[in-house]
Amino acid sequence: MSSLLQGVSLYLIGMMGAGKTTVGRLLAQQLGYGFVDTDDVITQATGRTINQLFAEEGEAAFRQLESDVLAQISAHLKLTVATGGGIVLRRENWSYLRHGLIVWLDVPVELLYTRLAEDTTRPLLQDPDPQGKLRSLLEQRQPLYAQADLHIIVNEGETPEQIANRVMEAIPSVLKTTASHQNVEN
Ligand SMILES: Nc1ncnc2c1ncn2[C@@H]1O[C@H](COP(=O)(O)OP(=O)(O)OP(=O)(O)O)[C@@H](O)[C@H]1O
Ligand SMILES: O=C(O)C1=C[C@@H](O)[C@@H](O)[C@H](O)C1
Ligand SMILES: [Mg+2]
């Protein structure tokens, strides 16, 4: 598979709690790729948590850091990149994401909520109605996530390993589509 990909990186997008970090690590192992998580790079580089960055600098400053980090990452090949849930919001980020194959992990809101109910590390969910907040964020972002090359609809009870396997199985179909587009256009 990694020879078929020819070193092209994978970028995982999707809502917070979708499993980008968890599934991304597995995909990196299977492909023999490096693994990078934009949220982790930001927290390591600044020495602050995402909650602190949102509280002390504001969301706009966080989004700028996120774009800067993504720009640097996109210069590399052979990576599986877990992105922050809001990476799709800025148009400039798409020019970086398009350096690789973009995979949307699409998880129903009810499932996201059960995964994140006890989690206090996502500042946007510190809301009186976290499930409603997840729903409205997904509504806003759905058309953006839908611009991914690969859309993986995750079912309840599927393990991270099963999801990673489905991504691996689906990759050749996207590469084939890309190649046939090129044939038509040339
Ligand atoms: N397939 C799965 N089944 C059950 N739990 C899962 C699955 N995938 C991820 N999880 C759990 O859900 C939580 C969120 O997963 P993860 O951190 O990978 O999501 P994320 O997409 O990276 O979120 P964020 O955008 O906030 O970084 C974690 O506790 C993880 O262990
Ligand atoms: O969905 C979002 O906007 C976010 C998701 C997380 O990955 C973090 O990047 C941060 O909590 C914001
Ligand atoms: Mg993550």
ipTM attached to this prediction: 0.97
- Ligand 2, atom 9, lies closest to the CA of 84
For residues 4 and 74, is the Cβ–Cβ distance under 8 A? no
Ligand 1 lining (C-beta closer than 6 Å): 14, 16-22, 39, 82, 84-85, 115, 122, 158-160, 163
**Alpha-carbon span 104 to 150, nearest angstrom:** 6
Mean pLDDT of the 115-121 span: 86
% of the chain exceeding 70 in pLDDT = 93
Which residue bears the tokens 């020019």? 95
Lookup: tokens for 40: 């982790």
Range of the domain at 22: 2-185
Measured over the CA atoms of residue 73, residue 75, residue 80 and residue 84, the dihedral's sign is positive
Query: Structural domain tally of the chain?
Result: 1
17-21, 55-59, 175-179: which has the minimum mean pLDDT?
175-179
Cα 127 to ligand 1 centre (Å): 19
What pLDDT digit, counting tens, does each position of 7-17 carry? 999 999 999 99
**Alpha-carbon span 100 to 9, nearest angstrom:** 5
Q: Is 84 part of any known ligand binding site?
A: no
Specify the ligand 2 atom closest to the Cα of 85: 1
Backbone angles phi, psi at 37, to 5 degrees: -120, 120
Mean pLDDT of the chain: 92
Binned at pLDDT 50, 70 and 90, residue 112 comes out as very high
> Side chain identity at 134, as an amino acid letter?
L
Burial of 69 (0-12, 13-18, 19+ CB in 10 A): buried
For residue 103, the surrounding DSSP H or E stretch is strand 101-106
**CATH code of residue 76:** 3.40.50.300
Relative to beta strand 79-82, strand 101-106 is: unpaired
**Alpha-carbon span 6 to 116, nearest angstrom:** 35
Cα 8 to ligand 1 centre (Å): 24
DSSP state at residue 32: T
Which residue bears the tokens 């611009």? 147
